[in-house]
């Protein structure tokens, strides 16, 4: 018997709605409203690059244009309703999820010790106890508080001195928590002084976290393969996800469907039983044009972005400038339910300008006057997040394929 089939446009609409991009971008973007956005997404990825705005700020701005970074800082550092840890990358998560990260702490304790011993050499664990005691005695610290001879010979962000390695290990395994950031530098403190005792003392069996992680990932994506479910939080294995999916299928909690890709090819995925009815009832995504972060959760999985949107994206930060196809840090442009282009721009804060260097429409997209007006309206909104007053376009900025 053929599987139920979700056609391409319906799949794209559902996916965008589940990621907060299928609705009009309205709301105060602070307090409980902002926390709800992050809960709906599951987490918001953190990134240090600030050519226009940092990734987490742009992710939230795309859904709430009234958002400003101070609102996230308050939730994180004052209200303590978010905590920072690792999914597929550094992220801020609702603190109510903290009990599920206990499984991550346990698994990382052995995995990282083995892996980092190969990198740092035997004996690197000798700094764990002194660093932990220092934090206990003196309160929150940054890695720069451990200076002097330890830093000699360290040349890059991954070339950590021994105490920095200890801080990261103790954070990744749960003894320390990040209590905030100074600039973009983490401040570490004892987890018992950062996370509420009830959350810290909630003991969950591995099976509970596995079920939660797979189910919560599916609810945030709408449809997914077992690998996509495992990769979403990156705290459970593919084998564990497959076992969960098999049991959930038997209980009738999920079904298997075929999802049509942009090229028409089908791909099997898991979904909730009412997925086709839900997708059919969704309104079209608003026609407003939005600038997205390259790390937006809707586009983070590059293979899925290619299947759903026909959008082939590569971060070129580490590509030598002469070999770049587009630019150092190029932003996708979403209009309705389509990626219509990518834009290279940078905030020149000394000159109070947002400088647009180049824009490339996606194949098949005509850059019309109405579309340009929508872009200019979005860039005008974006200047408030970037902290500049005006937008300028360089000569030859529109790169239309010949």
Q: What is the tens place of the pLDDT at every residue in 177-236?
A: 999 998 889 999 999 999 999 999 999 999 999 999 999 999 999 999 999 999 999 999
- Please report which confidence band the pLDDT of residue 160 belongs to, taking 50, 70 and 90 as the band edges: low
Q: What are phi and psi of 226, to 5 degrees?
A: -60, -40
The confidence score (pLDDT) of residue 147 equals 62
Average pLDDT over residues 253-259: 98
Of 57-71, 118-132, 343-357, the one with minimum mean pLDDT is 118-132
Listed in sequence order, the residues at least 6 apart from 145 whose beta carbon sits closer than 8 Å to its beta carbon are: none
pLDDT at 157: 40
CB 268 within 8 A of CB 293: no
Rounded to an integer, the average pLDDT of 166-178 is 95
* CA 246/CA 252 separation, integer angstroms: 10
**Chain centre distance of CA 284:** 24
* Two tokens, residue 129: 């106890």
**Is 80 exceeded by the pLDDT of residue 373?**
yes
Span 83-111, average pLDDT: 95
Nearest to 34 by CA among 78, 95, 62, 75: 75
- Averaged pLDDT, 85-107: 96
Distance CA 103, CA 64 (A): 33
Only one residue has tokens 């939730």, namely 75
Beta strands at 223-224 and 266-271: parallel, antiparallel or unpaired = antiparallel
The mean predicted confidence, pLDDT, of the chain is 93
Helix (H, G, I), strand (E, B), or coil: what is residue 250? helix
Whether the predicted pLDDT of 115 surpasses 90: no
């Amino acid at each position: 018997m053929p599987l139920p089939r979700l056609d391409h446009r319906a799949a794209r609409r559902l996916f965008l709605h589940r990621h907060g991009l299928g609705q009009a971008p309205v709301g105060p973007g602070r307090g409980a409203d902002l926390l709800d956005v992050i809960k709906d997404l599951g987490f918001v990825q953190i990134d240090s690059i600030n050519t226009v705005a940092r990734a987490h700020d742009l992710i939230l701005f795309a859904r709430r244009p009234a958002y400003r970074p101070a609102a996230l800082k308050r939730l994180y550092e004052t209200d303590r309703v978010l905590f920072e840890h690792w999914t597929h990358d550094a992220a801020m998560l609702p603190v109510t999820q903290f009990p599920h990260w206990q499984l991550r702490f346990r698994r990382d304790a052995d995995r990282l010790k083995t892996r980092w011993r190969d990198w740092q050499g035997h004996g690197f664990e000798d700094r764990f106890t002194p660093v932990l005691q220092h934090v206990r005695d003196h309160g929150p610290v940054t890695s720069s508080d451990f200076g002097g001879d330890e830093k000699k010979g360290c040349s890059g962000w991954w070339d950590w001195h021994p105490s920095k390695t200890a801080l990261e290990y103790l954070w990744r395994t749960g003894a320390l928590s990040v209590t905030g950031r100074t600039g973009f530098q983490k401040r570490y403190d004892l987890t018992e002084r950062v996370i509420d005792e009830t959350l810290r003392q909630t003991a969950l069996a591995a099976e509970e976290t596995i079920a939660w992680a797979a189910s919560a990932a599916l609810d945030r994506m709408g449809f997914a393969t077992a690998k996509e479910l495992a990769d979403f939080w990156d705290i459970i294995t593919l084998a564990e996800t497959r076992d969960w999916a098999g049991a959930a299928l038997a209980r009738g909690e999920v079904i298997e469907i075929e999802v049509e890709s942009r090229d028409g090819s089908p791909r099997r995925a898991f979904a909730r039983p009412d997925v086709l009815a839900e997708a059919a009832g969704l309104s079209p995504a608003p026609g407003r044009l939005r600038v997205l972060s390259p790390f937006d959760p809707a586009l983070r999985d590059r293979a899925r972005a290619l299947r759903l949107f026909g959008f082939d994206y590569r971060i070129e930060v580490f590509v030598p400038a002469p070999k770049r196809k587009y630019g150092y840090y190029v932003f996708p442009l979403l209009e309705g339910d389509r990626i219509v282009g990518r834009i290279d721009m940078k905030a020149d804060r000394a000159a109070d300008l947002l400088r647009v260097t180049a824009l490339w429409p996606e194949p098949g997209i005509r850059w019309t006057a109405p579309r340009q007006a929508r872009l200019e309206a979005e860039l005008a909104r974006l200047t408030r997040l970037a902290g500049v007053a005006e937008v300028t376009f360089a000569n030859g900025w529109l790169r239309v394929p010949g």
